[in-house]
Amino acid sequence: MIPELIALSRKIVIKIGSNTLADSEGRINAGFLGEFADQVAECIKAGKQIVLVSSGARIAGLSALGKWARKQDIHYKQALCAVGQVELMGAWLRAFAPLGLHIGQILLTRDDFGDALRTLNMRNTLFTLADEGIVPIINENDTVGVEEIKIGDNDTLAAQSAVLWSADLLILFSDIDGLYSRNPKIHPEAELIREVRDVAKVRQMIDTAGANSFGTGGIITKLDAAERAVSYGIPMILAHGGRPRILEALASGTAAGTAFLAQEKR
């Protein structure tokens, strides 16, 4: 099912989480970015359009300004993201430039999705960039985002962006191979669920207790994103972003993942 979804999709939104972007020392992994950019370039050559939703501003900021690592004040956190966003986009620029591809930055907050004029402008910008062969890279605008206007996580942002752009497919890259019956990091016997057609039902089936990375803020937000996307007719794939040449592997059927699809009509 996953290779078929990718083959049939022209407009694809891909979300890359901080765990996927970071190396073992917590810095932006330039090797991963280069490999991933190469796969995106191949997709574009094949006639597809790609929009990226990229986390990593805080990690990039900490890499640049380690002296602020222990600062908990909201102003320092926002300032750290301001520095980190420049570092993050610079890393993506260096990854795509050798391939002859330009990137475009779009920073959003929850309020942007609630305003009709802003939403129209965001949509038009996405269409224009993608139509011109430029790779839009979306992130939450953490430098101005406080709790009242924050989207909160990039899984939600990716789903909202997919709906806004009328995407054919949403792919969320995480640090697990898909949706499991329980947290595979602490339960080796956990089973991979390869296809989901009823998110509400699967919520009741799986055990989300245990680690934060699998529970609230982890798999829960991914299920929320799937529910939102599928409700608009956009299928979603959840897979491990750290696997070698993961986009190509998913397209060829050699990598595991979970496909979220609309319920079959009876």
DSSP class per residue in 145-198? --TTT----HHHHHHHHHHHHT-SEEEEEESSSSEESB-TTT-TTPPEE-EES-
Rounded Cα–Cα distance for residues 106 and 149 (Å): 16
Report the C-alpha gap between 170 and 139 in whole angstroms: 15
Domains identified in the chain, total number: 1
Q: pLDDT grade, residue 74 (50/70/90)?
A: confident
CB neighbourhood size of 31 (10 A)? 9
Instruction: Say whether pLDDT at 210 is over 80.
Output: no
Domain limits at 161? Answer: 2-260
Which amino acid is present at 220? I
Cα 98 to Cα 102: distance, rounded to the nearest angstrom: 10
Long-range contacts (CB closer than 8 Å, 24 or more residues apart) made by 186-190? 186/210, 186/211
Let me know if residue 265 belongs to a domain: no
Two tokens, residue 28: 């932006």
Query: What's residue 211's pLDDT?
Result: 41
Indicate whether 113 belongs to any domain.
yes
Secondary structure class of 103 (helix, strand, coil): strand
Q: pLDDT tier at 17 (50, 70, 90 boundaries)? A: confident
User: Would residue 214 count as lying in a domain?
Assistant: yes
Looking at the domain assignment, is residue 266 inside a domain? no
CATH number at residue 18: 3.40.1160.10
Q: Is residue 80 part of a domain?
A: yes
| pLDDT mean over 194-211 | 79
5 and 169 in contact (C-beta within 8 Å)?
A: yes
> Distance between CA 219 and CA 181 in Å, rounded?
11
Residue 107: closest CA among 130, 127, 94, 88: 88
Q: Tell me the pLDDT tens digit for each residue of 214-262.
A: 333 478 889 999 999 999 999 999 999 999 999 999 999 999 999 999 8
Best CA proximity match to 215, nearest among 170, 266, 176: 176
Per-residue pLDDT at 213 exceeds 80: no
Examine residue 56 and state whether it is found in any structural domain, yes or no. yes
Residue 29 lies in a domain: yes
pLDDT one-digit tens code per residue, 144-196? 655 544 566 889 999 999 999 999 999 999 888 999 988 887 888 888 999 99
Average pLDDT over residues 17-39: 88
| Closest by Cα among 16, 105, 26 to 66 | 26
Give the integer Cα–Cα distance in Å for 147 and 152: 8
Block residue for tokens 């796969």: 39
> Is 122 contained in some domain?
yes
6 SS3 class: helix
Percent of the chain with pLDDT over 90: 58
